[in-house]
Structure 1
Amino acid sequence: MKETEHPLYRKSNKMRMERFGKGLTFLSVALAAAITAAILFLVFSKGLSTFIMNDGSVKDFFTGTTWNPAEVNSLGKPIIGALPFLVGSLAVTGISALLSAPLAIGAAIFMSEIAPKTGKRIMQPVIELLVGIPSVVYGFIGLTVVVPFLRDLFPGSGFGIAAGTIVLSVMILPTVTSLALDAIQAVPRSLREASLALGSTRWQMICEVVLKTAKPGLMMAVIFGMARAFGEALAVQMVIGNAAVIPHSLFEPASTLTSILTMGMGYTVMGQIENNALWSLALVLLLMSLFFTITVRMIGKGKSS
């Protein structure tokens, strides 16, 4: 018998491969954790520099309405009022979620419950195509179609919260639809059959059984869509107007955290107050992303329990 065919040799070789696999996976996890920790440390250290090193006011940052980090106020503190950007980001994210969620859930119901074969054969490729379209294409379409359309119907230039909301609603629609479809399809078929056997109509079965059972998954789908909408930069920047003011109407120009970051980061010097103020905006974005992630995990735990 050859040495390589001996049972002990094969067992030792298998153990070496198992140790190698465990070591490789551990290194992969450790690398991912190290990169995440490094990003968190960088953003937190840079973002807090505005308040620690440059004597910025946290209260003025969240409640002030004037953004001019290069200047100081009467108290000698930098003018870093980020409230207009926070309002713009929350308004665009919230309204786009309100618009896209019913459409996405309705499309998922149609694909899963009403016309499963036709829906999947026709609508699923369309949804996958929408997911693959770059953000700049959405922004360009919004700039050439949505903005002129709003300008003709409503007073103003067409740039504003409404244009950004429409573009973002279309962008997050395929994401929410796909996740909502997975949540609806995860409902056991036995529940549907039991509901129909008790005399329910198909619509009653969908509303009272399918949607209620899939409610945690549908909420997760909407929150994932909101997370993407909150962090979107280029498409919103092209249609929102980028005015550092609190809008009093959906058709007035506004700004978001991401639009100010993308416009200003390339024109500041590392370590200066203007650059640190932009890092503070990035810190707010990171905290909001963590909030969305924690919310999804809490919903997932409630669903599993």
Structure 2
Amino acid sequence: MIGTIAAKKKMGAKKAVEQVMNAIFFVCGILSILCVAVITIYMISSGAPAITKIGLKEFLLGTTWAPTAADPRFGILPMILSSICGTFGAILVGVPLGVLTAVFICYLAPKKLSSFLTAVVELLAGIPSVVFGLVGMIVLGPAVAKAFHLSSGANLLSAMLVLAVMILPTIVSVTVTSLKAVPQEYSDGSLALGGTEVTTIFKMNIPAAKSGIITGIVLGVGRAIGETMAIIMVSGNVVNMPGIFKSVRFLTTGIVSEMSYAAGQHQEALFSIGLVLFLFIFIINLVLTTILKKGTKQ
């Protein structure tokens, strides 16, 4: 009888703890939604007026950015295209390298080497972005200039390479976690049917971990698009139409470079760039999430 009463009390205490935790999680979820809503409303209210004054076509498709000229021009097409090209280049280099590194760590590397590489990846994830920019400016920039006989290494190519290195830790760590979550039975079954180790990895394990891998890519892309300090140090920070060896300015660096002294319509235009960047990230995440859902259903 006493044991039954104690068990009931224990069950009641567990239920109370579960209810409290559910309430905490619910509140945290609501706060997250509210934060996103507030940020969205603020960005729209701050960025929309300038776009209305300048004109949507002139703002998005204009090729001249001269906010302090006698006849101010607020065209951000070069910055939009530079951001797209820089992000695409980083994905082109970083994603295959990150996924293959994760495969090596999970399946091919000896245990000691695997542990060492995992520690290196974690170390890279903790390095501040300004350090990447400093290394890129001192080491990578001169190397690019020397390799391609350029007067300066501050260009779009350097920005792509720095971004590719910066997104590696995110892609590698998430991909490793996803690959390790694939049941061992999948590999055993493939090998038992005559598949080689390489075939098993690329035809069985990677497709099985596709959702996690895409999640890592989404997180890496988010970091690449939102990066500022490292890019401002290696890209040249000049408003040009994108060219692989030309100095360029990204949307993020455009805001940081001029916000300290901007005023009036110039400042409003910078808020509008922030709105464009916000929508840009939202669209990319939406597209990648849709791809992720399709892959999961398949």
Q: TM-score, normalised by structure 1?
A: 0.86
Q: Aligned in 2, Cα 1:26/1:212: closer, same or farther, shift over 3 Å?
A: closer
Per-residue deviation at 1:43?
Answer: 0.5
Counterpart secondary structure, 2:247: coil
Structure 2 residue ranges without an equivalent (≥5): none
Matching of residue 101 in structure 1 with residue 95 in structure 2: yes
Aligned partner of residue 290 in structure 1, secondary structure: helix
Contact 1:112 1:119 in 2 (8 A): no
Which string of whole-angstrom CA distances, capped at 9 and with x for unpartnered residues, describes residues 207-264 of structure 1?
22122333343333223212210110000001100111113x3121111001111111
| Residue 88 (1) aligns with residue 82 (2) | yes
How far is 1:304 from its partner? 4.1
Comparing 131-140 with 201-210, which one deviates more in the overlay? 201-210
User: For residues 71-86 of structure 1, what are the structure 2 equivalents within 5 Å?
Assistant: 71=69, 79-86=73-80
In the alignment, the residues of structure 2 paired with residue 120 and residue 44 of structure 1 have an alpha-carbon distance, to the nearest angstrom, of 47
What's the TM-score once normalised by structure 2's chain length?
0.88
Match of 2:234 among 232, 239, 242: 239
Q: Who is 1:125 aligned against?
A: 119
Residue 221 of structure 1 corresponds to which residue in structure 2? 216
**1:5-25 deviations in whole A, cap 9, x for unaligned?**
999999998887766555544
Q: Tell me the equivalent position of 2:188.
A: 193
Q: Which residue of 2 aligns with 1:64?
A: 62
Structure 1 residue 159: Cα displacement: 0.7
Match 1:293 to one of 255, 274, 285: 285
User: Structure 2 CA distance, aligned partners of 1:103 and 1:162?
Assistant: 17
Which segment is superposed worse, 23-32 or 144-153?
23-32
Q: Which residue of 2 aligns with 1:161?
A: 156
For residue 39 of structure 1, what is the aligned residue in structure 2? 39
- Give how far 1:300 is off: 3.9
Q: What amino acid is the match of 1:240?
A: S
Distance 1:235 1:7 in 2: 59
After superposition, give the CA deviation of every residue in 1:49-99 in whole Å (9 maximum; x if it has no partner): 1123xx2111112211101234586xxxx5211011011111111111111
Deviation readout 1:249-305 (Å, 9 max, x if unpaired): 312111100111111111113xx2101111111011111221233234324433443
With over 3 angstroms needed to count, the CA separation of the structure-2 counterparts of 1:213 and 1:63, relative to structure 1, is: same
- Note if contact 1:220-1:299 (Cα within 8 Å) is conserved in structure 2: no
Q: For 2:123 and 2:101, how far apart are their aligned partners in 1?
A: 15
How many pairs does the alignment contain?
292
Deviations 1:86-122 (A, max 9, x none): 1111111111111111111111111111126234311
Instruction: Return 232-241 or 283-292, whichever deviates more.
Output: 283-292
Contact 1:85 1:255 (C-alpha < 8 Å) held by counterparts: yes
Q: Helix, strand or coil for the counterpart of 1:147?
A: helix
In structure 2, C-alpha distance between the alignment counterparts of 1:190 and 1:298, rounded to whole Å = 29
Percent sequence identity is: 32
Distance 1:122 1:133 in 2: 17
Q: Once structures 1 and 2 are overlaid, which stretch shifts more, 20-29 or 64-73? A: 20-29
Q: Name the SS of the counterpart of 1:266 in structure 2.
A: coil
- How far apart, CA to CA, are the structure 2 residues paired with 1:196 and 1:8? 50
Unpaired runs of 5+ residues, structure 1, are none
In the alignment, the residues of structure 1 paired with residue 10 and residue 118 of structure 2 have an alpha-carbon distance, to the nearest angstrom, of: 48
Tell me the residue number matched to 1:183.
178
When the two chains are superposed, the root-mean-square deviation of aligned CA atoms in Å is: 2.6
Structure 2 CA distance for aligned equivalents of residues 17 and 100 of structure 1: 44
- Three-state SS of the structure 2 residue aligned to 1:243 is coil
Is the contact made by 1:224 and 1:292 (CA closer than 8 Å) also made in structure 2?
no
- Once residues 83 and 37 of structure 1 are traced to their aligned partners in structure 2, the CA distance between those partners, rounded to angstroms, is 27
Kindly state the Cα deviation for residue 127 of structure 1 after the two structures are TM-superposed.
0.2
